[in-house]
Chain A
Amino acid sequence: MIVRQLCVRQSRFLALNRPARMVGRFYSTETPIQTAVETPTRGHPVQPQDSEYESFEELRIAAQERFRRAELRRQQRRSLGAVIEDGYDPEEILRNPPEPKDITLELLLASQTHLGHSTSRWNPQNSRYIFGIRDGIHIISLDQTAAYLRRAAKVVEEVAARGGLILFAGTRKDQKRTVVRAAELAKGYHIFERWIPGALTNGQQILGHCETKVVNALDEEITELKPNLEEHAALKPDLVVCLNPVENEVLLHECGLNNVPTIGIIDTDANPARVTYPIPANDDSLRSVGVIAGVLGRAGEAGQKRRLEYAREGRFTYEPVDPKELGLKDTRETQPQAESRPQRQSENQDIQTAEAAANQ
């Protein structure tokens, strides 16, 4: 855009007042103004900090050293002044989530699990989980929450101990890190974006291209069997933990159709019959969801640990593989499993005692 004295030229009144100057100036190509042809030009400024160092590597080392010293100084000064103790750190739920044994009513109260929805939005099926009404919202009974959360934690632990696939689903925007962290702890699977409808009922079309692998009891991959997997049906989870069941009706419907058990956080406006194992709690608070997902993740972690410990001792919770049935010529990978056959019975007893604990 050419910026000029717009008002001077555009205004008819002013232009009429002094037409001679404008015309006289531009009818001729000669310039009346005398100036020097050469303009003093400025080159690029020399950067002194670059010239101090011989090479980029030296500059890099010096910069890293400076940064390290600044960090050290900052750390030293951090200890000065007052220390705030017992503060709420949102990252702490992710970094160090509570274990099932840490579930207390104080923890649940502090993490706002008791806050339900407005009384007008309630689902009467939740009446047995509701403690009362305060400020127009339902308050969830925390001893119910604690009991149901402990039961769900035991379910997650037992499924993990038996090598089941546990899927953590939380599709709200802020639940991503919570979900990923819980899946990481429980060695499970996560979904934090939209659940693709049909991923269970039409699995071959939607998950058919996703990679799978065969692992032995110690979770080491058996690469010889990889080619056989190409024609294997898409996998289905053995347990689904849904952190926001109200938004994930499709997921729960597909789980129901496929007989996949589900655990869900049931707020006062949700239908508790949609999930197999409801946890009555607040699903709108990130902190509440973080505590519940953390507890379930820790439970899964304990289950996986137990399974691997048994496997390392040579005790397996299941019937060993017949190498012939696997279509395998080189049976070195599966040999340790075959040796463990006699000890299976004792293991089953262990599992049964654990189940008895879970069912209590």
Chain B
Amino acid sequence: MAWQRPSCIVQSMQSLRLRPLRSSASPLSSTPTPFLLRSQKTNARGYATETSSDSSVQGAPAAAPPAIAPAAPAIDFDQFPYRPARIVPASPSYFSGSPKFIDHLLRLQNLLAENAHLPINSPAHAQRKAWLKLPQFREFVGEPVPTKKYKSLIKVLQRINRIRQPIVPDHVNAIINEYVRPGNPYAVKPAPPTLDEMGRARGRGKRKTSSAVVHLVEGEGEVLVNGKTLSEAFPREHDRESVVWPLSITERLGKYNVWATVKGGGTTGQAEAITLALARALLVHEPGLKPALRKAGTITVDARRVERKKPGHLKARKKPAWVKR
């Protein structure tokens, strides 16, 4: 398990720290061991691996471990070692290698099982919570938790969080709040955009590699793109139609003046970047148009970008033609 000890420094420090222990536990050393039971340090029952290492110390050739280790012999209860003050694992999941994480997981799953009968919200209506991010969670648990296991735990947390808020018991809230990162980022919401003192609304939009800023004022329907008229800026008719599409779909073509600055990309990208910016600016003037604009597809961000070219391909996905020899 590479993730158990991610750092080589940790490993080397561990070996340095353990060196005095190992030397004192070996029969060759005469230094007494001051702490704990001597019988516990060297295990009372002989272990096959330990005997082989002892023989190698004495110079005898170490026997190779068998391909299939035979099962241990039956327990002789007359010889079974009794232990007064026992050393036991702190957690029942000690042998899993990540006991703290497993304890957290089992605790949450038990909590969920106890409260599984409570009514739940749909995931969309659950209270939004900012769970600990993976590095924070690792610090919280104190173990190098793999991403997949972290995600499985977050799934359980989200299911618990769906229990309807007025009904959820206090102790459940207290437990799941341990996994919420400090400071709620969802509490701070950006202020809604407003008209400035001159009655202008500002909107920004991006499409492909173009980005546009639109200032929208009530007026006679003039459109200027980078200081040029619409027909000068976009010779292609389809682009002109795209630019004013939010206004024409809502029948506002003669009611607003548009002042757009756009840069980057080609004509299609610039035109559609202005579309998005214009629709956003229009929403500042008239928020009630949102359903119409949404239906027309003008406030949906198109996040597609040009796919990169790959080695071994002619373009992003195109492969060279297959040639026999």
A and B interact physically: yes
Q: Which residues of B contact A214 (CB under 8 A)?
A: 85-88
User: Hey, what's the 0/1 contact readout for B40-84 against A, CB within 8 Å counting as 1?
Assistant: 110101111100000000000000010011111111011011111
Task: State whether the Cβ of A196 lies closer than 8 Å to any Cβ in chain B.
Answer: yes
Task: State whether the Cβ of B127 lies closer than 8 Å to any Cβ in chain A.
Answer: no
* A29 and B253 contacting across the interface, CB-CB below 8 Å: yes
A191–chain B nearest beta-carbon distance, Å: 5
* B253 and A33 contacting across the interface, CB-CB below 8 Å: yes
Known: A2-B275, A212-B94, A273-B70. A327 touches B36 (CB 8 A): yes
Q: Which residues of B contact A314 (CB under 8 A)?
A: none
* A210 and B94 contacting across the interface, CB-CB below 8 Å: yes
* B68 and A253 contacting across the interface, CB-CB below 8 Å: yes
Task: State whether the Cβ of B4 lies closer than 8 Å to any Cβ in chain A.
Answer: yes
Alpha-carbon distance A318/B95, docked complex (angstroms):
25
Alpha-carbon distance A258/B275, docked complex (angstroms):
72
* B46 and A259 contacting across the interface, CB-CB below 8 Å: yes
The listed residue with most B CB atoms (<10 A of its CB), out of A3, A207, A209, is A209
Q: Which residues of A contact B194 (CB under 8 A)?
A: none
Task: State whether the Cβ of B196 lies closer than 8 Å to any Cβ in chain A.
Answer: no
Q: Which of A29, A59, A261, A334 touches B85 (beta carbons < 8 Å)?
A: A334
* B90 and A213 contacting across the interface, CB-CB below 8 Å: yes
* B167 and A275 contacting across the interface, CB-CB below 8 Å: no
* B238 and A189 contacting across the interface, CB-CB below 8 Å: no
User: Hey, what's the 0/1 contact readout for A114-130 against B, CB within 8 Å counting as 1?
Assistant: 00000000000000000
Known: A212-B88, A327-B35. A29 touches B223 (CB 8 A): yes
* A30 and B253 contacting across the interface, CB-CB below 8 Å: yes
A47–chain B nearest beta-carbon distance, Å: 13
Q: How many A-B residue pairs have CB under 8 A?
A: 263
Question: Looking at the complex, which of A20-28, A104-112, A286-294, A295-303 is the stretch in contact with chain B?
Answer: A20-28
Interface size of B by Cβ–Cβ distance < 8 Å? 95
* A259 and B94 contacting across the interface, CB-CB below 8 Å: no
* B164 and A326 contacting across the interface, CB-CB below 8 Å: no
* A30 and B69 contacting across the interface, CB-CB below 8 Å: no
| Nearest residue, chain B, Cβ from A57 | B166
Q: Which of B87-122 contact A (CB under 8 A)?
A: 87-97, 99-100, 102, 106, 118-119
B227–chain A nearest beta-carbon distance, Å: 15
Alpha-carbon distance A261/B40, docked complex (angstroms):
18
Q: Which residues of A contact B41 (CB under 8 A)?
A: 232-233
* A159 and B48 contacting across the interface, CB-CB below 8 Å: no
Known: A2-B275, A162-B80, A327-B36. A252 touches B252 (CB 8 A): no
A124–chain B nearest beta-carbon distance, Å: 17
Task: State whether the Cβ of B255 lies closer than 8 Å to any Cβ in chain A.
Answer: yes
Task: State whether the Cβ of B231 lies closer than 8 Å to any Cβ in chain A.
Answer: yes
Known: A184-B92, A188-B92. A64 touches B166 (CB 8 A): yes
* A30 and B48 contacting across the interface, CB-CB below 8 Å: no
The residues of B with any CB-CB pair to A shorter than 8 Å are 1, 4-5, 11, 14, 17-18, 20-21, 34-38, 40-41, 43, 45-49, 65, 68-75, 77-78, 80-97, 99-100, 102, 106, 118-119, 143, 164, 166-167, 218, 220-223, 229-231, 237-238, 240-242, 244-245, 247-248, 251-255, 272, 275, 286-289, 295-298, 300, 302
